[in-house]
Chains A and B, each alone.
Chain A
Amino acid sequence: MLFNSIPFLVFLPVVFILYWYLSNKKLKYQNLLLLIASYVFYGWWSWKFLILLALSTLLDYLYGFGVGSKSRKKARFFLWLSIANNLGILGVFKYYNFFAEQFQTAFEAIGIHTHPIILQIALPVGISFYTFHGMSYVFDIFRGERRPITNFVEYAVFVCFFPLLVAGPIERANHLLPQIQNKRVFSYSQASEGLRLMLWGMFKKVIIADGLAITVNDIFNNYSTLSAGTLIMGAIGFSFQIYCDFSGYSEIALGTAKLFGFELLSNFKFPYFSRDIAEFWRRWHVSLSSWFKDYLYIPLGGSKLGKAKAVRNTFIIFLVSGFWHGASWNFITWGAIHAAGFLPLLLLNRNRQHTKEIVAFDRKLPNMKELMQMLGTFAFVTFAWIFFRIHDIKVAIDFCKRIIVNAFHDPLQFVHKPGGLMVLYYIIPLILADWWIRRNERVIRPTPYRILNWAIAIVMAIFIINTFFTYLDKQPSSFIYFEF
């Protein structure tokens, strides 16, 4: 079930009413309802893969007891069993075909012809997210940060809570489980905050991301005939498309969770206002980058074992992060580009310059230096997105090459080519809106005036209603991160 679909618009109010009116008396009823609702939400897409989800949940729940054992040897055994299990699921469904093809190519290079079996199976939606939930649970137990949970329903809700089930945020056992284990009490302010977040997230997805997608797809599909200006506009458009698509999803997820009394981890903190790549990664897909930092980078030694190992660890974490997005070389290249951008900061010990407040936190506007830093970071990130968007690396290189080769050819093509200017029409209001609310990504209060806030909300709602009517007889567009 997609957040931007009619079934979800029916599903959500029904679950909300049942949750607060019927199952409100006892914690176990609340959790049971959430579990059933989450399985319906996931099963709506595929009941067959629901079995996989339930099985994966059950195994990690059982491994948790082994990992929590007093014997360190036994704990370590079950930890590795859990890792093998989760990576095994990912390996079969997400990475098997990639490796099979790579081995085939490698063998053919030395003259050996092989015919590996290629699996004809769909990638289960959200597989990368729920397996990471399960792993975070067993890791936390192994590190002694929490005890194994005895109530299966509570654990299952942690893994498959429907707002975050298919595209995150990737929650931590220590953050979400305590909330699941305590009875939720309805809070008007929390619920209305949730609705505001949902509306904003929906607007970003349905209006901005899907609107930009039309132009961006057109430009990327016909890049060989276009001028440098239009190609740059396409790349910038994609930067904002993926940002609005994914952060829009995350905001709907955060908002939906708030309706049920939960606070999820933030996933986006206005990443395009970052002043360097290090800051960008503290603001983009925060739940994934912090997951990799805590469970991969730090166990590898982080930056405490000397510069050489820090560089190695940085590359590992970025390459793995790229590979997490998909079994394809373009994602690995995308990760490598970011690692290369991060490296100078690491070597010069400047990777922790902007760890606290967002740019110009106590001012209305950034200064010139900050502006240039933001533009530079954005340009770098946008360049890397080209490799994320185009799956064939040769085509991606050709795309970049044409930006340079065609630099002076028809520089104003994007102005008269329909769609080129559309990118600016979408992103300028978005940048202004993001700048306005940048001090707190979780509280969407555009102005201090109540009536004006209502007016803004109604205008956004009208746009969304219109889009729903437009595509009523068609499939709603999926979220980009559902592919991962």
Chain B
Amino acid sequence: MKNLLKKVSFFLLLSFTLFFVLKYIFINREPKSFNSAFVDKLKILQANKNKKKIVLIGGSSVGFGLSAELMEQKLGITTINLGHNATLGLVDFQSFIEKNLTKDDIIVFSPEWHIYAHPDFVDAASIDNLIRHNPEYGRLIGNPNYIVESYFASIRFSQYVHDGNEIIYRYHCYNANGDIISHCGLKPKGPKYYSVYEDPMQLNSFANYFPFLSTNKTVYFFPPTQTRVYQEHKNYFAQIEKALVNQRSILVDNVVDNVYPDSVFFDEGYHLTCDTRTQRTEKLISYLTNSGVVNNRSLTKNKSADQ
């Protein structure tokens, strides 16, 4: 009996030791992923904590669909694009954003359609991928569960195909302002259609999920939408628009102004090509300046710098 227990203990010790040794070797070789690049974007925000800035918030429709670089250039205000991947959700890092804002900061809030019905949407697999490739996330946003989970996530063998070789969805996919640029110059693949589930809106609870709505100047901006999707859900989108107007939210334009043909989407229904992104951003800039959301002094300063 003792002999058996000794052997079993030795066997388990050896197996666990080898397991952790292999893990150690493996972890050191593990590349960061597309999802884990989001941590770096949050760090850009952190680095600009005390500056006056414009922060673009949303999922990949913002990452692909707006150019913070161009806005910064034209408006002369530091602009950070936090749009990355809607499946990471928008709620987890809200308190982090709040901590890194000044009272003069402007938020451009452009959630994907499902967020209007499910503001707390988070996809566990995406988070798992993020914290596995970049365990810093939990610590950065102050989520103790993610800190614990990232420990287990990081000692697992690879469960995902590494995206190091992916052309678009790789770790080095964004510029200094956080815009996704890995697809610029590549031939569009054409979009897939996505589904919009017309679930009841939760606009009344938005302030609980997104604290900046009550503390900062927030501008709502609708996501780029495919013509077919718009036609199918026209009434639902109109209801969202109306509800926002009733809440006296600042709207940049209408849903219909963000409807685009398939040819300008890169691969997904929300991902614009770089050229279209530039045009869309220019429209946003002109709105922000014309409406007075961004004061003219910044613009003048910028123009004189251009000259």
- The residue that B19 contacts in the complex, of A192, A454, A462, A472, with Cβ under 8 A, is A462
Q: Does B24 contact A (CB under 8 A)?
A: no
Contacts of A191 in B (CB 8 A): 4
Contact A20 B1, beta carbon cutoff 8 Å:
yes
Interface membership of B243, Cβ < 8 A: no
Interface window among B8-16, B53-61, B273-281, B299-307: B8-16
A-B residue pair count with CB separations less than 8 angstroms: 39
How many of chain A's residues touch chain B, expressed as a range? Answer: 10 to 19
Q: Does A362 contact B (CB under 8 A)?
A: no
In the complex, chain B residues whose CB is within 8 Å of the CB of A457: 11
Contact of B159 among A462, A465, A470, A472 (CB under 8 A): A470
Are A465 and B156 in contact, with the CB atoms below 8 A?
no
List residues of B whose CB falls within 8 A of some A CB. 1, 3-4, 7-8, 11-12, 14-16, 18-19, 22, 149, 152, 155-157, 159
The 0/1 profile, CB within 8 Å of B marked 1, for residues 146-173 of chain A is: 0000000000000000000000000000
Q: Least Cβ distance of A466 to chain B in Å? A: 5
The answer to whether B22 and A462 touch across the interface, beta carbons within 8 angstroms, is yes
Determine the distance from Cα of A466 to Cα of B159 in the docked complex, in whole angstroms: 11
Which residues of A have CB within 8 Å of B12? 461
Q: How far is the CA of A329 from the CA of B274 in the complex (A)?
A: 56
Q: Which positions 408-463 of chain A face chain B at CB distance < 8 Å? A: 454, 457-458, 461-462
Which residue of the partner chain, among B4, B11, B22, B152, contacts A461 with CB atoms under 8 Å?
B11
* Complex partner residue of B155 from A188, A195, A469, A473, CB under 8 angstroms: A469
Chain A CB within 10 A, most for which of B8, B149, B159: B8
A186 touches B (CB below 8 Å): yes
| Complex: A186 Cα to B22 Cα, angstroms | 36
Q: Are B15 and A465 in contact (CB under 8 A)?
A: yes
Closest A residue to B157 using CB positions: A466
Contact of B15 among A20, A195, A458 (CB under 8 A): A458
The answer to whether B152 touches A469, judged by C-beta atoms less than 8 angstroms apart, is: yes
B15 touches A462 (CB 8 A): yes
| 8 A Cβ contacts from A34-53 to B | none
Known: A20-B1, A191-B4. Is A470-B19 also a contact (CB below 8 A)? no
B1 touching A470 by the CB < 8 A rule? no
Complex contacts, B1 vs chain A, CB 8 Å? 20, 186, 188
Distance in Å: Cβ of A199 to nearest Cβ of chain B:
9
Contacting residues, chain A, for B22 (C-beta < 8 A)? 462
Q: Which residue of A lies closest to B10 (CB)?
A: A454
Q: Which positions 198-212 of chain A face chain B at CB distance < 8 Å?
A: none
A457 to B7, CA, bound (A): 13
A191 to B19, CA, bound (A): 25
Q: A461-B11, A462-B15, A470-B159 provided; 20 other pairs, C-beta below 8 A?
A: A188-B3, A188-B4, A191-B4, A192-B4, A192-B7, A195-B4, A457-B11, A458-B15, A461-B12, A461-B15, A461-B19, A465-B15, A465-B16, A465-B19, A466-B156, A469-B155, A469-B156, A470-B157, A472-B152, A473-B149
**A20, A458, A469, A470: the one within 8 Å of B11 (CB):** A458
Contacts of B156 in A (CB 8 A): 466, 469-470
Query: What are the residues of chain A within 8 A of B149 when measuring CB–CB?
Result: 473
Residues on the A chain within 8 Å of B16, using CB: 465
State A225–B128 Cα separation when bound (angstroms): 30
A195 touches B152 (CB 8 A): no
Interface residues of A (CB under 8 A from B): 20, 186, 188, 191-192, 195, 454, 457-458, 461-462, 465-466, 469-470, 472-473
With a cutoff of 8 Å between Cβ atoms, the chain A residues found around residue B155 in the complex are 469
What are 12 of the A-B contact pairs (CB < 8 Å)?
A188-B1, A195-B4, A454-B11, A458-B15, A458-B18, A461-B19, A462-B18, A465-B15, A465-B16, A465-B19, A466-B19, A466-B157
Question: Main secondary structure on chain B at its contact with chain A?
Answer: helix
**Complex: A458 Cα to B16 Cα, angstroms:** 9
A-B pairs, 3 with minimum CB distance: A461-B15, A470-B156, A462-B19
CB distance from B144 to the nearest CB of A (A): 14
Minimal Cβ-Cβ distance residue in B for A186: B1
CB distance from B123 to the nearest CB of A (A): 15
**In the bound complex, CA of A473 to CA of B4 (Å):** 31
A473 and B8 alpha carbons, distance in the complex (Å): 26
Q: How far is the CA of A242 from the CA of B7 in the complex (A)?
A: 32
Cα of A454 to Cα of B3 in the assembled complex, Å:
16
- CA of A466 to CA of B7 in the docked complex: distance in angstroms? 21
Question: What's the minimum C-beta distance from B161 to chain A, rounded to whole angstroms?
Answer: 8
When distances are taken between beta carbons in the complex, the residues of chain A under 8 Å from B8 are 195
Closest to A189 in B: B4
Closest beta carbon of chain A to B15's beta carbon, Å: 4
**How far does the alpha carbon of A188 sit from the alpha carbon of B8 in the complex, in Å?**
12
- Nearest to A188 among chain B residues (CB) is B4
CB-defined contacts of A188 to chain B, threshold 8 Å: 1, 3-4
Instruction: Tell me, rounded to whole Å, the shortest Cβ–Cβ distance linking A38 to chain B.
Output: 22
Shortest Cβ gap from A263 to chain B (Å): 18
Q: Please give me the residue from chain A that is nearest to B3 by CB atom.
A: A188
Complexed CA–CA distance, A186 and B4 (Å) = 11
Give the residues in chain B near A473, CB-CB below 8 Å. 149, 152
Most chain A Cβ neighbours within 10 Å, of B15, B16, B155, B156: B15
From A24, which residue of chain B is reached at the shortest CB distance? B1
Q: Which residues of the other chain, A, contact B157 by a CB distance below 8 angstroms?
A: 466, 470
Residues of B within 8 A of A472 (CB): 152
Chain A positions within 8 Å of B11 at CB level: 454, 457-458, 461
Q: Interface centre among A20, A186, A462, by most B CB within 10 Å?
A: A462
A465 to B12, alpha carbons, bound, how many Å?
10
Question: A186 to B14, alpha carbons, bound, how many Å?
Answer: 25
> What's the minimum C-beta distance from A472 to chain B, rounded to whole angstroms?
5
Provide the bound-state CA to CA distance between A401 and B109, in Å: 51
Q: Which residues on the A side are within 8 Å of B15 (C-beta)?
A: 458, 461-462, 465
Distance between Cα atoms of A188 and B157 in the complex (Å): 35
A191 to B15, CA, bound (A): 20
A residues less than 8 Å from B7 (CB atoms): 192
Distance to closest chain A CB from B78 (angstroms): 38
CA distance A195 to B9 in the complex (A): 12
CB distance from B192 to the nearest CB of A (A): 15
- Distance to closest chain B CB from A324 (angstroms): 37
A461 / chain B contacts, CB cutoff of 8 Å: 11-12, 15, 19
Contacts of B19 in A (CB 8 A): 461-462, 465-466
Give A156 Cβ to nearest chain B Cβ, in Å.
27
How far apart are the CA atoms of A473 and B127 in the complex, in Å?
Answer: 14
Bound: A188/B16 CA distance, A:
24
Q: Could you tell me if A458 and B159 are in contact, using CB atoms closer than 8 angstroms?
A: no
Give Cα distance in the complex from A465 to B15, angstroms.
8
- Closest A residue, CB atoms, query B16: A465
Chain B residues with CB under 8 A of A466: 19, 156-157
CA distance A462 to B26 in the complex (A): 14
CB of A401, distance to nearest CB on chain B (Å):
29
- What's the least CB distance linking A397 to chain B, in Å? 30
A212 nearest CB across to chain B (Å): 16
Residue of B nearest to A21 (CB): B1
